[in-house]
């Protein structure tokens, strides 16, 4: 796919000196295109190049430059350890590239290839794998989301998400450049930064929205927005309700993976309710396989899927079923009206206890409804009689284990109550704010 359609805004007639603002620094489309042209000239002919994906105009110029040149860009987290960094560079064959935003050049040559990005997985099941994301997949996804969220050039998008993930980079930067909306990246996703930005469209992960609702003044400042979007992890129902109370907005929730981009979403013009991620975007088809008790593994087909894992044909093949469906590894339920509800990861969030299949997210939401509980993560632990027992890790004060157990049992079925509760000062989380259940301490 040629560069012009993917980066529509850069070639349009609408420009302004603050078309993009990243961590307090602003530039026009013309300035961005010149800096990206210099990157493209330097990157031309390379297999791939890596960039330290800080929250900066330099990162944006690097990614746009890669798209201009048709050279895959490999974003690396700024806080990546030396071992992770070395693995990514070795595995991808990418050459590190630094960007001088003051350097400008024209670039008008056709792009060399279709792979836009190589995004590395978190490495929870082994060394991180490089996910090949094509220009065509990005274009298809951004157009589908623009329609779903009524996202136009009249919007101002605000977020402070990392630029080495799909959410912050593909949606939060390339989405703005395709839609032509002004972008304000706040550097860090603080409630004060969000409140001061004056946006119409806001992106956040649940951790961000939790912090926003704890700052009532900042939350109420978002009442003038058009749409709040939450993703990358399930949004707790109490946070959904607090956003509605304080901002007047019911947030849009969506679902996706690095390998699939965004595939499900509630709609700007549709009903939104806590705990659901909407219906498939245009071109996406879904099924729930091996369903029992109404839930099973979510499987997908569609134009937004990745082109495979770099150099790992066996892993790529294993991620698909024999009849060609991508296996997400997430457990979902499809409600009678077609709306999807994500229960969690099959490996950690589907608990089989006493013959019941229990979604960890449902128990987490029940715990978070208690006023003393600030954070909660629920897992299944081996149990001689039940197979697995429900174990809750909570960040809370002024409440006992027995009180929380009884609180959950009063709201859910008795078999869904935690058998053990452990109190922590904080939950382990990754850069996107997702709880890392594999890092929870043992009982």
Do 3-188 and 261-345 come out as alike in CATH topology? no
Determine the Cα angle at 50 with ends 46 and 53, to 5°. 150
Instruction: Supply φ then ψ for residue 309, to 5 degrees.
Output: -90, 130
Using alpha carbons, select from 249, 192, 239 the residue that is nearest to residue 218.
Answer: 192
Q: How far is Cα 428 from Cα 426, in angstroms, rounded to an integer? A: 7
Digit-by-digit pLDDT tens for the chain (443 residues) are 344 458 888 887 789 999 999 999 999 999 999 999 999 999 988 999 999 999 999 999 999 999 999 999 999 999 888 888 999 999 999 999 999 999 999 987 767 779 999 999 875 556 789 999 999 999 999 999 999 999 999 999 999 999 999 999 999 999 999 999 999 999 999 999 999 999 999 999 988 999 999 999 999 999 999 999 999 888 888 899 999 999 999 999 999 999 999 999 999 999 999 989 999 999 999 999 977 667 889 999 999 999 999 999 999 999 999 999 999 999 899 999 999 999 877 767 778 887 677 878 889 888 998 999 999 999 998 888 788 899 999 999 999 999 999 999 888 878 899 999 999 999 998 776 778 888 898 87
Q: Looking at residue 9, what DSSP letter applies? A: G
Q: Where are the domains of the chain?
A: 3-188, 261-345, 350-439
Q: Topology of domain 350-439, per CATH?
A: GMP Synthetase; Chain A, domain 3 (3.30.300)
What would the CATH number be for the domain defined by 261-345?
2.30.38.10
Q: Which pTM value belongs to this model?
A: 0.85
Q: Contact, 326 vs 260, CB < 8 A? A: yes
Domain 3-188 of CATH type 3.40.50.12780: yes
């Amino acid at each position: 796919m040629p560069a012009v359609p993917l980066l529509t805004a850069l070639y349009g007639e609408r420009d302004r000196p603050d078309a993009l603002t990243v961590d307090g620094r602003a530039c026009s489309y013309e300035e961005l295109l010149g800096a990206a042209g210099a990157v493209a000239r330097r990157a031309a002919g390379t297999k791939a190049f890596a960039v330290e994906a800080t929250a900066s105009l330099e990162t944006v110029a690097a990614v746009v430059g890669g798209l201009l040149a048709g050279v895959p860009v490999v974003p690396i987290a700024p806080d990546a350890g030396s071992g992770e960094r070395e693995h990514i560079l070795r595995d991808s064959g990418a050459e590190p590239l630094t960007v001088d935003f003051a350097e400008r050049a024209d670039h008008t040559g056709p792009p060399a290839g279709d792979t836009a990005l190589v995004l590395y997985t978190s490495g929870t099941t082994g060394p991180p794998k490089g996910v090949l994301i094509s220009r065509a997949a990005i274009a298809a996804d951004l157009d589908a989301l623009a329609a779903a969220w009524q996202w136009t050039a009249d919007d101002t998008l605000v977020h402070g998400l990392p630029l080495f993930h799909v959410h912050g980079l593909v949606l939060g930067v390339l989405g703005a450049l395709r839609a032509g909306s002004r972008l304000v990246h706040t550097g860090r996703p603080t409630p004060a930064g969000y409140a001061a930005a004056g946006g119409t469209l806001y992106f956040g992960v649940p951790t961000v929205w939790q912090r926003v609702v704890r700052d009532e003044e900042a939350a109420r400042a978002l009442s003038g927005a058009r749409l709040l979007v939450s993703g990358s992890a399930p949004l707790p129902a109490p946070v959904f309700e607090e956003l509605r109370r304080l901002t007047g907005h019911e947030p849009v929730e969506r679902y996706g993976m690095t390998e699939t981009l965004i595939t499900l979403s509630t709609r700007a013009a549709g009903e939104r309710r806590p705990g659901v991620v909407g219906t498939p975007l245009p071109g996406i088809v879904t099924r729930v396989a091996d369903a029992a008790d109404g839930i099973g593994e979510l499987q997908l087909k569609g134009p937004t899927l990745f082109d495979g894992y770099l150099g790992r044909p066996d892993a790529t093949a294993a991620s698909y079923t024999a009849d060609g469906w991508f296996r997400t590894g997430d457990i979902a339920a499809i409600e009678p009206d077609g709306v999807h509800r994500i229960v969690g990861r099959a490996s950690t969030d589907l608990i089989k206890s006493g013959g019941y299949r229990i979604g960890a997210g449902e128990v987490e939401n029940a715990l978070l409804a208690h006023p003393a509980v600030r954070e909660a993560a629920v897992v299944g632990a081996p149990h001689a009689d039940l197979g697995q027992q429900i174990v809750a890790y909570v960040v809370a004060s002024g409440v006992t284990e027995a009180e929380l157990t009884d609180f959950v049992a009063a709201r859910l079925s008795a078999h869904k109550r935690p058998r053990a509760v452990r109190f922590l000062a904080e939950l382990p989380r990754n850069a996107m704010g997702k709880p890392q259940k594999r890092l929870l301490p043992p009982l």
